[in-house]
């Protein structure tokens, strides 16, 4: 039996921690502590945990920790850390691929290629897990996650599970509108076409080489910071403002790709947030374009 405040859990198989530093779980390597942090061992275990969680407990779902900035004051609530726990992936008899939310997108790309399936190669360029890719219709190299989706499995706030068809969702550029609130993706069925395995693996290697050449993959970052505006690119607008290399504290606008902010080693979440705001203000002032954040800012200020 484990306690959360005055609440007790039974039958858990996963790992429950308290006052957990989120800097250890985000790709920016920043973020204050979460009140509660649960890493389930599978979908069934996650359902057991949620069924016992107080109904008013704030929830934060975390995959690989990319595309999110946790503020220095941390998170008041519970983090569901599904990466590595919801980790099943398999090709089914009908040819579709079922993948759980905690599988890294790059792993999905490699798995599909090895099975002789074509169409998921772009996932190798997404620095996150499947759950996050589903939530935001993540994309790279001209591909988008929901173009592959046949149906999804979701979990409701009380731990109940449902299967939903892809047609039930309104999907756009980096946006997904669900038919109900307080549901989270735990698995998806992907539809791909058959192809040549060796050729597909070679395509993935080429895409990864292209990504490494274009993006600061060796430095702590959270992926693209801003959405591309219609008929333009956020990186072009930022670079046109002379902001490459601009820094606040340890946060730096990448010299390699202007739509990336990197942690040079000593950045705080506050440094990164201030730099995000400065970039938005400068682009608005000089280019007349209001950039929209692709990364999610969560938590409280210190």
Q: Is residue 7 pLDDT above 90, yes or no?
A: no
CA dihedral 253, 256, 258, 264 (to 10 degrees): -20
Q: Got the DSSP string for 210-223?
A: HHHHHS-TTSB--S
pLDDT tens track for 158-201: 999 999 999 999 999 999 999 998 999 999 999 999 999 999 99
Assess whether 294 carries a catalytic annotation: yes
pLDDT tens track for 125-134: 999 999 999 9
In sequence order, what are the residues at sequence separation of 6 or more whose Cβ sits closer than 8 angstroms to the Cβ of residue 81? 25, 37, 38, 39, 62
Q: Where in the chain is the domain with CATH 3.30.43.10?
A: 2-81
Assess whether 224 carries a catalytic annotation: yes
Q: Where in the chain is the domain with CATH 3.30.465.10?
A: 89-214
pLDDT at 214: 93
Q: Is residue 264 pLDDT above 80, yes or no?
A: yes
302 pLDDT band, cuts 50/70/90, is confident
CB 161 within 8 A of CB 155: yes
Assess whether 268 carries a catalytic annotation: no
Which residue of the set 17, 110, 161, 174 is catalytic? Answer: 174
* Cα distance between residue 115 and residue 3, in whole Å: 44
CATH of domain 89-214: 3.30.465.10
Q: Where in the chain is the domain with CATH 3.90.78.10?
A: 234-298
The domain made up of 2-81 has a fold known as 3.30.43
Matching CATH number, 234-298, of 3.30.70.1560, 3.30.450.20, 3.90.78.10, 3.40.309.10: 3.90.78.10
Which residue of the set 66, 124, 224, 254 is catalytic? Answer: 224
């Amino acid at each position: 039996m484990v306690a959360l405040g005055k609440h007790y859990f039974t039958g858990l198989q996963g790992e429950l921690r308290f006052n957990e530093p989120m800097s250890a779980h985000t790709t920016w390597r920043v973020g204050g502590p979460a009140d509660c942090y649960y890493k389930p061992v599978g979908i069934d275990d996650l359902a057991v945990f949620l069924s016992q969680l107080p109904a008013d407990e704030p929830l934060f779902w975390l995959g690989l920790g990319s595309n999110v900035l946790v503020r220095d004051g941390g998170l008041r609530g519970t983090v569901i850390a599904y990466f590595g726990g919801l980790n099943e992936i398999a090709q089914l008899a009908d040819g579709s691929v079922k993948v759980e939310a905690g599988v890294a997108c790059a792993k999905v790309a490699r798995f599909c290629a090895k099975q002789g399936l074509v169409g998921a190669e772009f996932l190798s360029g997404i620095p996150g897990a499947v759950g996050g890719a589903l939530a935001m219709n993540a994309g790279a190299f001209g591909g988008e996650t929901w173009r592959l989706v046949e149906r999804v499995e979701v979990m409701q706030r009380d731990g109940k599970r449902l299967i939903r068809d892809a047609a039930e969702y309104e999907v756009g550029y980096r946006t997904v509108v669900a038919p109900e609130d307080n549901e989270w993706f735990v698995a998806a069925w992907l539809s791909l076409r058959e192809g040549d395995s060796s050729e597909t693996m070679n395509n993935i290697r080429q895409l990864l080489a292209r990504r490494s050449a274009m993006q600061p993959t060796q430095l702590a970052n959270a992926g693209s910071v801003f959405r591309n505006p219609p008929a333009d690119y956020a990186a072009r607008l930022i670079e046109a403002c002379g902001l490459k290399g601009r820094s606040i504290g340890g946060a730096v606008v990448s010299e390699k790709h202007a739509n990336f902010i990197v942690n040079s080693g000593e950045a705080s979440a506050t440094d990164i947030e201030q730099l995000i705001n400065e970039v938005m203000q400068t682009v608005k002032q000089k280019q007349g374009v209001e950039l929209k954040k692709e990364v999610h800012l969560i938590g409280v200020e210190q």
